[in-house]
Amino acid sequence: MKQIYSLFRTDGEVISCERYGNGHINETYLLATNREQLYILQKLNGYVFKDLDGVMKNIQAVTAHIRRRIKPPQQVLSLVPTRDGKCYLRGSDGSVWRMYDFVRGGICLEKAGCEDDFRHSAEAFGQFQNQLADFPAETLVETIPHFHDTPDRYRQLHEAIEADAAGRAAGVKAEIEWYLSKEPEAGALMRLKDAGELPLRVTHNDTKLNNVMLSDTDHKPLCVIDLDTVMPGLVANDYGDSIRFGASTAAEDEKDLDKVTMSMPLFTAYTEAFLKACGERLTQKEIETLPLGAKLMTLECGSRFLTDYLNGDKYFHTAYPEHNLDRCRTQMKLVKDMESKWDEMCTVVRKAAEA
């Protein structure tokens, strides 16, 4: 490992290098130096991200843009340059390594302990949108092509149903019929984008609570992390995925569907903080489509779980044979619950925008 980290411009001599965190994509290490500086060293996953150069160019451009607009700099991740001045290192075996300054005084939460935790994550992602509103999103690389292209996700679902590779389709006819019944609505946001009614924005595309670094004292946001999926996208998708994951009253794989609902207090807290932090950066149409983003991101995620179940669990990690099926059912229940609360959701968004 020394032959890797020694090629970065650390402040002081590295005295320890240990595996860090519980991420499943990249290899992550925490480095300490004799000058009490801490760093995060990561080896990027070339299987998940085919264009690692593009991933790093996106991160470098976006973080530099934010840094020019904020004080203090802890509100954005800071890449540590290599000794030859580059923002990442390509190893002799083709691997890509990067280093960040460690964000001191920060924590990541897997689940909101209270409404304020969720509100603070909304503030962070809203600030992220505000800071990057004037960034030319079209100049960024699609690090995972068609990642939130819901019609394309449905194309994959149709292929999985037809192939029935794991022989599971006959046992999930009700789930298949329900997801296919939602297909006409699935492409609504993409159609609005293609018609020029929704602008492309710089989007994070993995807006879970644990991708915000919060202060370990008052839980206020320090910075948004895990920028590998930053690419052009729609605001409604970023907002929607936060709601899908964070406003649910149950775990993503909860078997008792009676426990699965969308919490209106959490929905309201997130919406108010997100729109306030966005300032006046969003268009009226973007604001109007936020509830649709929540619904379609939930629908898309559920269709992906069902697709993977039909394919034999090739993409998502599973702990038991029906794991992806349970996940797809919770997303079904969440969509149904959102539909029952639709008018209330739209009212919350409208009032928050007017505040």
How confident is the model over 46-81, as pLDDT tens digits?
888 889 999 999 999 999 999 988 876 567 999 999
Tokens 């379609």 sit on residue: 296
What mean pLDDT comes out for the span 29-58?
Answer: 93
**pLDDT value, residue 315:** 87
What mean pLDDT comes out for the span 91-110?
Answer: 90
DSSP letter for 82, please.
Answer: B
Peptide bond between residue 81 and the one before it cis (omega within 30 degrees of 0)? no
Q: What is the mean pLDDT of the chain?
A: 94
The least confident of 12-21, 29-38, 70-79 is 70-79
The least confident of 13-22, 133-142, 293-302 is 13-22
Tokens 């691997």 sit on residue: 95
Encoded tokens for 199: 């602008």
Q: How far apart are CA 247 and CA 112, in angstroms?
A: 9
Q: How far apart are CA 62 and CA 67, in angstroms?
A: 9
What totals of helices (H) and strands (E) does the chain contain, helices first? Answer: 13, 10
CA 63, 67, 69 angle in degrees (round to 5)? 125
Tokens 């843009």 sit on residue: 65
CATH architecture of the domain 2-104 equals 2-Layer Sandwich (3.30)
Sign of CA dihedral 202, 331, 212, 229: negative
The β-bridge relationship of strands 27-33 and 89-90 is unpaired
Q: How far apart are CA 25 and CA 315, in angstroms?
A: 12
What mean pLDDT comes out for the span 348-352?
Answer: 98
Q: Which residues contact 111 (CB under 8 A, 6 or more apart)?
A: 209
**pLDDT value, residue 283:** 97
**pLDDT value, residue 73:** 57
**pLDDT value, residue 90:** 92
Q: How far apart are CA 122 and CA 166, in angstroms?
A: 39
Using a pLDDT cut of 90, give the percent of the chain over it. 86
The least confident of 108-117, 195-204, 302-311 is 108-117
How does DSSP assign 111-169, residue by residue?
Answer: S-SSHHHHHHHHHHHHHHHHHTTTS-GGGS--SSTTTT-HHHHHHHHHHHHHH-TTS-G
The 10s digit of each residue's pLDDT in 187-212 is: 999 999 999 999 999 999 999 999 99
**pLDDT value, residue 74:** 63
Q: Which residues contact 263 (CB under 8 A, 6 or more apart)?
A: 247, 248, 249
- Other C-beta atoms closer than 10 Å to the C-beta of 225 total 20
Q: How far apart are CA 2 and CA 344, in angstroms?
A: 56
What mean pLDDT comes out for the span 269-276?
Answer: 98
Cα 353 to Cα 59, 235, 279, 289, 346, distances in angstroms: 30, 15, 9, 12, 11
Q: How far apart are CA 239 and CA 349, in angstroms?
A: 12
Confidence band, pLDDT 50/70/90 cuts, at residue 22: confident
What mean pLDDT comes out for the span 243-250?
Answer: 95
Rg (CA), the chain: 21
Cα 133 to Cα 13, 200, 277, 283, 353, distances in angstroms: 39, 10, 12, 11, 17
- Other C-beta atoms closer than 10 Å to the C-beta of 131 total 22
The distance in angstroms from the start CA to the end CA of the chain is: 52
What mean pLDDT comes out for the span 325-346?
Answer: 98
What mean pLDDT comes out for the span 296-320?
Answer: 96
**pLDDT value, residue 119:** 96
Please state the separation of Cα 28 from the chain's center in Å. 18
What mean pLDDT comes out for the span 261-269?
Answer: 97
SS3 at position 329: helix
The 10s digit of each residue's pLDDT in 114-151 is: 899 999 999 999 999 999 999 999 999 999 999 999 99
Cα 122 to Cα 70, 232, 242, 277, distances in angstroms: 18, 20, 8, 8
Identical fold between 2-104 and 115-354: no
What mean pLDDT comes out for the span 151-170?
Answer: 98
Q: Which residues contact 303 (CB under 8 A, 6 or more apart)?
A: 150, 153, 154, 157, 179, 186, 328
As beta bridge partners, residue 17 has: 31
Domain boundaries, the chain: 2-104, 115-354
Q: E-strand spans in 291-346?
A: none
Instruction: Return the CATH class of domain 115-354.
Output: alpha beta
